[in-house]
Amino acid sequence: MKESNPNDFLIEVQPLGGFDKPLSYSISKDLRHEIKVGSLVKIPLGARKLLGIVWSLKGNKPNETTQIRNIISLIHKVPVLSPDLTNLASWIANYYACSIESCLEAMIPKAVRDGMQPKKRRLVRLADSSKDYSQLTKRAPAQFSAIEFLRSQKEPVPSSTVLSKIKTSQNTIRSLVKKGIILESEENIDRVVYEDEYLDANEQIVHNLQLTSEQKKAVSEINEDLESRQFKTRLLCGVTGSGKTEVYFEAMQMALNQGGTILFLVPEVALAPQTVSRIRSRFKNEKIVVWHSHLASGERADAWRSIINEESKIVVGARSAIFAPLPKLRLLIVDEEHEAAYKQEDNPRYHARDIAVVRAKLNDATCLLGSATPSLESALNVQKEKYQTSKLSKRVDNRELPLIHLVDMRREADKTKVLPILSQQLVEALRDRISNKEQSILFLNRRGFNTTMLCPECGHVESCKDCSIALTYHRTDGYLRCHLCGYRKPAPNRCKKCNSFDLKKKGHGTQRIEDIVIGLLPKHASVRRVDADMMTKKNLFRETLSDFRKGKIDVLVGTQMIAKGLDFPKVTLVGVIDADLPLRMEDFRASERAFQMLVQVSGRAGRGNRAGEVFIQTYAPHSPSIQFARKSDLKGFTEDEMDMRKEFGYPPYQHLIRHLFRSRSESKVEYYANEWAKILENKNIAGLKIKGPAPAPLEKIKGYYRFHFFYFTASVKKTIKNLGLIRSEFPLDPDVHDILDVDAQQIG
């Protein structure tokens, strides 16, 4: 072991790989000013050499602690993490009950963790361009041509260029370098991540808009937040088409003026092509990094480097971009903050919106959350005055919100005795649009996990009294089950409410709807479908949206993924085929999701000069979320839904932690879930409400059987700590695994 010097300086390093705690190391005096919190270093650990992140700087090393080892080397001059990110990693590990290592894996791209260097190219130039080399003409004609070519160049050129121009080999260059006639240098090449792959040539982006008075007010409120240089969170609550993006831009300009950097989060980059191109065209002089899942590892490493080197001041991306190591972070924007897509469903299971708030706090920065349909979590934070709020209540140019029709599908069912897919009204409206050369969108919902029971006569849904969620039907045993508390009862033959016999359930894919629509419309109408499968084919998806914008498609059929933030001015009709599906889902957020979906979807209609019309097909026209959505009554919906959440102690009043057990063995997973339940009962943890065990809605995934518990608590950190202690004394069978999901969004 290397003997360390008493003058050495003590630091803590978090190893990458295999150790979940920072360890002490020392550094020699000469590295003292080069090593910073967040630096990537190489360390000895046992017999291994590992990379690690400098976690903290401790001070001079006391003489007696001689067993502390020196680091091996400093890998990057510039820290790979900004100091706030090391704090954030610790925070996430504590709150989400995950390892620091999993946080660092999420934070630092693999290419960087592997110590990857930028791609370089060799440049060559003439050492002395005034010298005459004509004596080489005969002896070494290739060398002479190379020299003459370089003489004609003003700047150093890549050696590959020389080779291709004079058709010679590396040897020529090598011998000239040896002789000192030409000089070599190296240059990093950026694998281009700034190029605008999204900008659509046909897209017109208007600059220098005259802000509306509401926009001006919001901008000045946000400017005050920024000027205070204190941690602030503001919810920008603006109806669809109210011009939230312009407000973001003004705030971004202000943050840039302050010398700060900006993080702009969107739920899914592929769904925000317009936002990305608008940001690019508005901030033309900025190198903007678009951080998304399709980046190749080299591109990712380069993007990363341009961020830590402070070349890029604006990063746009989906949830994982929340970890972009921007120094001097002044502003974090979370667009469509209500989107469940911000929750990471793998370790670390963080919520990017909540992390944005924490990160703003660590930087004394401003966090701006925007939505037309804010999450109840954010709404409650506004009530508690943890967040400030700004409102945009009108569409720009006073464009009207679309006219919303509810189509009562129970009546449609009467006529034919089979559940129809499209109502007569919607079909007529579609035909109308075709003859007027206007565009339409038809929305279809994601199906629930299982079959729930809906009465087509009266719209009644069988639900659990204790949990207020829809019960699901299990074909195997004919029982209805609650997936929160485990309650079950035999499925009824008749509707409990109206006594009808006909409790049937049906779902339809986008493909089916597309076929039906094609059959109902004149031949010349162009109908296209976008669905989840298409998302994997990035270009196909983009081309379809672009064709739609150009008017090449009359009717677009898709799931609610096309509802997010897209702006198609020529759309005058939106049809929602099955508004009830989210309501029937076995999730206490079903109403919230249904309301958000309906408002967002309706927001796609009438964004141009022509007014829009929306048809919502439903079997439950009386249900509150549908009624509130029809009136675009956000306040009414929020109050109503908050009451329910409060009564049942659901989020946002309490945090929800989901505890999932899984195993290939059904009997083992059930046994251990029940054993765990007994232990919890004995321990009787104060302030913790427990539901379960119950089979998860998706009882079996990829051969794994799944059971879960739901914990409701006011304090996540306390609960995680308590559960951790109890859990450490509860040995699980090696075939059974468990996962904690803090602030769980998905309960399938």
Residue range at the interface with Zn ion (CB under 5 A); choices 68-76, 155-163, 466-474, 704-712: 466-474
Which residue lies nearer to ligand ADP by CB, 22 or 603?
603
Q: In this complex, which beta carbon is closest to ligand ADP, that of residue 210 or of residue 667?
A: 210
Rounded to whole angstroms, what are the CA distances from 411 to 414, 419, 505, 509?
A: 5, 10, 16, 23
- Between 272 and 464, CB nearer to Zn ion: 464
Closest distance between ligand ADP and the C-beta of residue 522, in Å?
31
Instruction: Answer with the entry of ligand ADP, Zn ion, none that 299 interacts with (C-beta below 5 to 8 A by kind).
Output: none
Q: Which one, 398 or 667, has the nearer CB to ligand ADP?
A: 398
Q: Answer yes or no whether residue 337 interacts with ligand ADP by CB under 6 A.
A: no
Q: Which residues inside 668-707 make contact with ligand ADP, applying CB under 6 A?
A: none
Q: Is residue 600 involved in binding ligand ADP (CB under 6 A)?
A: no
Applying CB under 6 A, which part among 203-211, 251-259, 321-329, 400-408 lies near ligand ADP? 203-211
- 692 with 710: CB under 8 angstroms? yes
Structure-token pair, residue 245: 């993006």
The 10 Å Cβ neighbour count of residue 274 is 20
Total interface residues for ligand ADP by CB under 6 A: 17
Check binding of 306 to ligand ADP (CB under 6 A).
no
Position 245 contacts ligand ADP (CB under 6 A): yes
For the chain, helix, strand, coil in percent to 5 are 35, 25, 40
Question: How far is residue 136 CA from its own chain's centroid?
Answer: 62
Applying the rule CB under 5 A, the residues between 479 and 518 that interact with Zn ion are: 482, 484-485, 487, 495, 497-498, 500
For tokens 């974090």, name the residue.
332
Which of 39, 240 has the CB closer to ligand ADP?
A: 240
- Angle CA 585–343–631, to nearest 5: 50
Which residue from 61, 460, 570, 584 is in contact with Zn ion, where contact means CB under 5 A? Answer: 460
Q: Is 698 in the site for Zn ion (CB under 5 A)?
A: no
Sheet holding 613-618, edge to edge: 403-408, 613-618, 571-576, 439-444, 555-559, 527-530
Instruction: Evaluate whether 73 touches 2 at the Cβ level (below 8 Å).
Output: no
Choice from 87, 172, 212, 233 touching ligand ADP (CB under 6 A): 212
Using CB distances below 5 to 8 A depending on partner kind, what does residue 457 bind out of Zn ion, ligand ADP, none?
Zn ion
CB contact at 8 A, 305 and 281? no
Tokens of 501: 């016999």
Whole-angstrom Cα distance, residue 289 to residue 541?
Answer: 22
Shortest distance, CB of residue 600 to ligand ADP, whole angstroms?
Answer: 9
**Tokens of residue 409, six digits:** 């599908």
Q: Does 209 bind ligand ADP (CB under 6 A)?
A: yes
- Residue 642's CB is within 10 A of a number of other CB atoms, namely 17
Residue with tokens 């010349």: 524
Distance, in Å, from the CA atom of 149 to the CA atom of 172, rounded to the nearest integer, reads: 13
- Tell me, residue by residue from 355 to 394, as one string, x for binding to ligand ADP by CB under 6 A and - for no binding: ----------------------------------------
Nearer to ligand ADP, 256 or 279 (CB): 279
- Per CB under 6 A, which of residues 559..598 are in contact with ligand ADP? 567
| Residue 485 interacts with which of Zn ion, ligand ADP, none, CB < 5 to 8 Å by class | Zn ion
Measured in whole angstroms, how far is the alpha carbon of residue 594 from the centre of its chain? 20
Contact (CB, 8 A) for 147 and 136: yes
Indicate the SS3 state at residue 345.
Answer: coil
Q: Does residue 246 touch ligand ADP according to CB under 6 A?
A: yes
Contact letters for ligand ADP, residues 393-432 (x by CB under 6 A):
---xx-----------------------------------
Q: Which residues of 282-299 are buried (b: 16+ CB within 10 A; e: fewer)?
A: bbeebebbbbbeebeebb
Asked if 747 touches Zn ion (CB under 5 A), the answer is no
Confirm or reject binding of residue 242 to ligand ADP (CB under 6 A): yes
Q: What is the arrangement of strands in the sheet containing 9-15, beginning at the earlier edge strand?
A: 23-27, 9-15, 48-60, 40-45, 73-74
Supply the minimum distance, in Å, between the C-beta of residue 252 and ligand ADP: 13
Q: How far is the CB of 451 from ligand ADP (least distance, A)?
A: 35
Q: Which among ligand ADP, Zn ion, none contacts residue 498 (Cβ within 5 to 8 A by kind)?
A: Zn ion
Among 310, 466, 533, 543, binds Zn ion (CB under 5 A): 466
Both structure tokens of 740 = 């904690």
Q: Which residues lie closer than 8 Å to 596 by C-beta, 6 or more apart?
A: 338, 373
Residue of 102, 240, 363, 381 that binds ligand ADP (CB under 6 A) = 240
From Zn ion, ligand ADP, none, interface partner of 482 (C-beta below 5 to 8 A by class): Zn ion
What CA–CA distance (Å, rounded) separates 315 from 625?
36
**CA 222, 227, 233, 235: dihedral to nearest 10 degrees?**
0
Question: HEC string of 396-430?
Answer: HHHCCCCEEEEEEHHHHHHHHCCCCCCCHHHHHHH
CB of 239 to ligand ADP, least distance (A): 7
Both structure tokens of 688: 């913790």
Query: Does residue 215 bind ligand ADP (CB under 6 A)?
Result: yes
Q: Is 244 in the site for ligand ADP (CB under 6 A)?
A: yes
Take residue 155 and report the two structure tokens written for it.
């700047």
**Which residues contribute to the site for Zn ion (CB under 5 A)?**
455, 457-458, 460, 464, 466-467, 482, 484-485, 487, 495, 497-498, 500
Binding site for ligand ADP (CB under 6 A): 206, 209-212, 215, 238, 240-246, 396-397, 567
